[in-house]
Amino acid sequence: MGKTAQQVDLVRNEPRYSHLATPSLALVQKQSPDYSSSHALLHPQHSNISFAVRPDRSVSYFDPVTSLPNRNHIFGALDEMIVSGVDDCAVLFVDLDNFRRINNSFGHEKGDSLLLAAGRRLQRFVTDQEWIVGRFGGDEFVVVVHGKRDRTTLNALAEQLVLELAYPHQFEGLSVSVTASIGIACFPGDATEAGELIQYAHTAMYAAKGMGGQGYRHFRQNMAAHAAESLLIEGRLRQALESNEFSLVFQPIARAGSNEIHIVEALLRWTNNRNEIVDPDQFIPVAEESGLIRDIGRWVLQEACQQASQWRRTRATPIVVSVNASPLQLANPKFCDDVQAAMDAAGLPPDLLVIEMTERMMVEEDAITSANIRRLTEMGVRVALDDFGTGYSSLSYLTRYQIQSIKIDRSFIGNIEFDLRARALVQAIIGIGKSLDVRMVAEGVESQGQAAVLESLGCDYLQGYLIGRPVSAEAL
Ligand code: C2E
Ligand code: CA
Ligand code: CA
């Protein structure tokens, strides 16, 4: 426990961002690559081991941005560790979620500084000599831990890494947080060869991303097929838009205590060329990583506005459509133009549209996102804060922006019937919303009991299988 507190402290006491541009002394000392000595520095208890293949000195072994060992170095050291007869080791492949967004919003120079900061946080985890921390490339880091560790210990470690990396960075008056996904592969259980271990950890990392990011997964053999699949997904997604393979389903949101439905959430579905319906959790992360989410998101906006406009013409009471926007979309200076164009094309008044922005936004306050949120409000489009309680964003969010509703993440709702603490937490969240005059929506309401509790706590709206599953526009 003492160790954990100390690590957290170190991160919290991180120098301001401007200082981070100067790598710490400990890191700088590695800049003239002497492979054997640096190898000793990484795991001195094996310092008598030399590399079987003499390293080519024209090749750099350190990453210039973070000064951490680079891909070649990690690979070599891991290989060496295995060849030298290590009993057990684990490879943790760490990938920052949506890092592209940082580069797009702040530029590459700031992106690099953030990578440096992330590398330093990982480096601080090196509590003993049994570690290697390196930058594999882009926004990817690899942590190798040797010595026997059971699954529970590795889980605790991965959880800690995820937590430390997500803690917001302070710079230039902004609070920026980047979450990470981690994949874990173990020697000798999962693989016995360095390349394979890294590859499998990478595969497991993708599985963690597929679960929505900000988490970790252990490698499993059946993931390999899945990984190949997600590579294919990217290629297929590009064609999916042109081939009309996307559709929207709509999930009702009811006013608490009544059956009255006048808001629905639009949820994306992809029917692939094998006629299988793919859920958004499987392809949205791929679309975000590849930047395709912008085009897909624009399509969703257009389609949702058309549908709302049709309901307005054909129904006695109009239906408000709530559309999910990815952080990447919100960080695009053209986002509000897209929203306006979609409303104009459909002839939809702005009070029939809500934009849901996830609380798991990577950048709490980048200038473009802020401007977009303000402009949406000026345009008369309401903004909802989605997945509330799952991210790191501060409550000041709520006063800084004109957010009209908060959607309490379904992970909080599951236990409220029988767990008094869970209920107290939801009560507190609803209290915050009330005092700010924000409408509260509970997600994932599945039972009558949950609905009754939420109603008694003063929750305004309910969404979940109890009210209705997502269905096609015709079935609504
Ligand atoms: P979300 O915004 O939190 O949407 C709610 C998800 O919870 C939906 O899953 C919905 O089917 C599911 N759900 C609703 N009620 C219940 C319930 O009572 N119990 C349980 N267990 N689940 C319930 P879905 O449709 O698979 O969407 C998953 C996520 O994908 C969404 O989470 C949203 O973050 C993202 N997404 C969906 N459509 C879009 C889109 O058009 N654009 C973007 N950027 N993201 C989207
Ligand atoms: Ca949503
Ligand atoms: Ca949600």
Percent of the chain with pLDDT over 70: 83
Does 323 map to a domain? yes
Look at residue 16 and tell me whether its pLDDT is greater than 50. no
Residues, the chain, total?
A: 476
The whole-angstrom separation of Cα 292 and Cα 290 is 5
Distance 356 CA to ligand 2 centre (A): 6
Report which of 422, 424, 429, 427 is spatially closest to residue 407, judged by C-alpha positions: 429
Residue 405: CB within 6 Å of ligand 1? no
Q: Does one domain contain both 422 and 320? A: yes
Whole-number pLDDT of residue 59: 57
Does 253 map to a domain? yes
Look at residue 56 and tell me whether its pLDDT is greater than 70. no
Total domains present in the chain: 2
Q: Does one domain contain both 213 and 239? A: no
Residue 384: CB within 6 Å of ligand 1? no
Q: Does one domain contain both 215 and 241? A: no
Confidence of residue 42 (pLDDT cuts 50, 70, 90): very low
Distance 331 CA to ligand 3 centre (A): 19
**Tens digits of per-residue pLDDT, 335-358?**
999 999 999 999 999 999 999 998
Residue 284: CB within 6 Å of ligand 1? yes
Residue 212: CB within 6 Å of ligand 1? no
Q: Which ligand sits nearest to residue 407's alpha carbon?
A: 3
Residue type (1 letter), 367: A
Whole-number pLDDT of residue 61: 85
Look at residue 215 and tell me whether its pLDDT is greater than 70. yes
Higher pLDDT, 38 or 438: 438
**Tens digits of per-residue pLDDT, 78-109?**
998 899 888 899 999 999 987 877 887 788 88
Check whether the bond before 69 is cis (ω within 30° of 0). Answer: no
Residue 414: CB within 6 Å of ligand 1? no
Whole-number pLDDT of residue 169: 82
Confidence of residue 5 (pLDDT cuts 50, 70, 90): very low
Whole-number pLDDT of residue 230: 65
Q: Does one domain contain both 280 and 341? A: yes
Supply the CATH number for residue 196's domain.
3.30.70.270
CB atoms within 5 A of ion ligand 2 belong to 324, 356, 386
The whole-angstrom separation of Cα 31 and Cα 3 is 29
Whole-number pLDDT of residue 372: 92
Tokens of 217: 């997964």
Does 58 map to a domain? yes
Residue nearest to atom 21 of ligand 1 (CA): 444
Residues 161-174: what's their mean pLDDT? 83
Residue pair 141/118 in contact (Cβ under 8 Å)? The answer is yes
Q: Does one domain contain both 155 and 69? A: yes
Residue 450: CB within 6 Å of ligand 1? no
Q: Does one domain contain both 341 and 396? A: yes
Residue 281: CB within 6 Å of ligand 1? yes
Residue 210: CB within 6 Å of ligand 1? no
Whole-number pLDDT of residue 427: 96
CA-279 nearest atom, ligand 1: 26
Q: Does one domain contain both 153 and 279? A: no
Q: Does one domain contain both 297 and 189? A: no
Does 296 map to a domain? yes
**Tens digits of per-residue pLDDT, 169-206?**
876 677 777 889 999 999 999 999 999 999 999 989 98
Residue after which a domain boundary falls, among 219, 251, 283: 219
Tokens of 256: 């608490």
Q: What is the torsion angle, in degrees rounded to the nearest 10, for the CA atoms of residue 226, residue 412, residue 215 and residue 238? A: 50
Distance 130 CA to ligand 2 centre (A): 42
Does 474 map to a domain? no
Residue nearest to atom 25 of ligand 1 (CA): 267
Does 198 map to a domain? yes
**Tens digits of per-residue pLDDT, 306-325?**
999 999 999 999 999 999 99
- Which of 284, 329, 386 most suits a substitution to test ligand 1, by most atoms within 8 Å of the C-beta? 284
Supply the CATH number for residue 366's domain.
3.20.20.450
Distance 105 CA to ligand 2 centre (A): 23
Give the Cβ contact number of residue 214 at 10 Å.
23
DSSP character at residue 293: H
Higher pLDDT, 300 or 28: 300
Does 398 map to a domain? yes
**Tens digits of per-residue pLDDT, 357-413?**
987 654 455 678 888 999 999 999 999 999 888 766 567 777 777 889 999 999 999
Look at residue 40 and tell me whether its pLDDT is greater than 50. no
Residue 470: CB within 6 Å of ligand 1? yes
Distance 315 CA to ligand 3 centre (A): 27
Residue pair 117/169 in contact (Cβ under 8 Å)? The answer is yes
Q: Highest mean pLDDT range out of 79-83, 127-131, 221-225, 459-463?
A: 459-463
Confidence of residue 43 (pLDDT cuts 50, 70, 90): very low
Whole-number pLDDT of residue 226: 65
Residue after which a domain boundary falls, among 184, 219, 254: 219
Residue nearest to atom 34 of ligand 1 (CA): 324
**Tens digits of per-residue pLDDT, 96-150?**
987 877 887 788 888 899 999 999 999 887 766 678 899 998 899 999 998 778 8
Q: Does one domain contain both 459 and 420? A: yes
Residue after which a domain boundary falls, among 150, 184, 219: 219
Residues 153-171: what's their mean pLDDT? 88
Q: Does one domain contain both 198 and 270? A: no
Q: Does one domain contain both 58 and 124? A: yes
Which of the residue ranges 77-81, 425-429, 438-442 would you say has the lowest mean pLDDT? 77-81
Confidence of residue 224 (pLDDT cuts 50, 70, 90): confident
Residue the block writes with tokens 């006063």: 399
Residue 268: CB within 6 Å of ligand 1? yes
Confidence of residue 7 (pLDDT cuts 50, 70, 90): very low
The whole-angstrom separation of Cα 33 and Cα 58 is 10
CB atoms within 5 A of ion ligand 3 belong to 386-387
Does 406 map to a domain? yes
What is the extent of the structural domain holding 212? Answer: 38-219
For the chain, what is the mean pLDDT? 82
Whole-number pLDDT of residue 361: 57
Q: Does one domain contain both 317 and 453? A: yes
Higher pLDDT, 53 or 84: 84
Residue 419: CB within 6 Å of ligand 1? no
Confidence of residue 228 (pLDDT cuts 50, 70, 90): low
3-class SS at 91? strand
